[in-house]
Structure 1
């Protein structure tokens, strides 16, 4: 069966228990239609880049599935109909990565900030206050 990765975004005013209940609901939809959920992660409430349905934040969840296309289509259809779901993104992948997703790894392990200096800012082309006299 094909392998998929899904990111689900639920409304921000849900409780954590309700958001995790939605993950279990969509996991059951996948398994009822002949698929299998390999892994699931709850990423928590995160700020979005832009507002969706007047919401600035949302509960994020990540699913790795091994499911037929019909099961994925049914899950996406039910997510679009569900009032608490704002977005669903499904991507077909060649293989699942081992371990936690990048979002769950610590920021230091990803190497985003290695402590390198930002450089000298004196050589920018802006005006200098000393020259204004």
Structure 2
């Protein structure tokens, strides 16, 4: 089955447990449609570059999935209809990266930054 990565932003006035509950909810939708949630990360509340639906901040979540296209379409459809979800980004990938995402790594563990050219 194809591999996908998703990032979604939910409203800032949700509690942490409600935001993490959304991850479980959408994972259950995938499971009902023949897919599976491989891994998920809750990134916490982050400030956005611009307001979305009058919100300056949002709960960010990252999902790694292994599911058929029909299951992904159904999950995205339900995400768009859900009143707590503000934005969704889905990307099809060839393989999932091992370990935590860059957002979850400490600054010390990240690779060195390149120097800027003059």
- Whole-angstrom CA distance in 1 between matches of 2:111 and 2:94: 26
SS in 1 for 2:99: coil
- Whole-angstrom CA distance in 2 between matches of 1:113 and 1:76: 34
CA deviation profile, 1:77-121 (whole Å, cap 9, x unmatched): 00110000001100000000001011100122224679x9xxxxx
- Whole-angstrom CA distance in 2 between matches of 1:79 and 1:28: 13
Q: Which runs of 4+ in 1 moved over 3 A?
A: 111-114
Give the TM-score normalised by structure 1: 0.82
SS in 1 for 2:45: strand
Give the TM-score normalised by structure 2: 0.92
SS in 2 for 1:108: coil
Backbone CA RMSD of aligned residues: 1.6
Larger radius of gyration: 1
- Whole-angstrom CA distance in 1 between matches of 2:25 and 2:67: 16
- Whole-angstrom CA distance in 1 between matches of 2:50 and 2:109: 27
- Whole-angstrom CA distance in 2 between matches of 1:2 and 1:73: 13
User: Does the alignment pair 1:49 with 2:49?
Assistant: yes
Q: Which structure ranks higher in relative contact order (CA pairs < 8 Å, sequence separation ≥ 6)?
A: 2
Equivalent runs, 1:1-133 vs 2, <5 Å: 1-111=1-111
Q: Determine which structure has the larger strand proportion and give its number.
A: 2
Structure 2 unaligned regions, length at least 5: none
SS in 2 for 1:5: strand
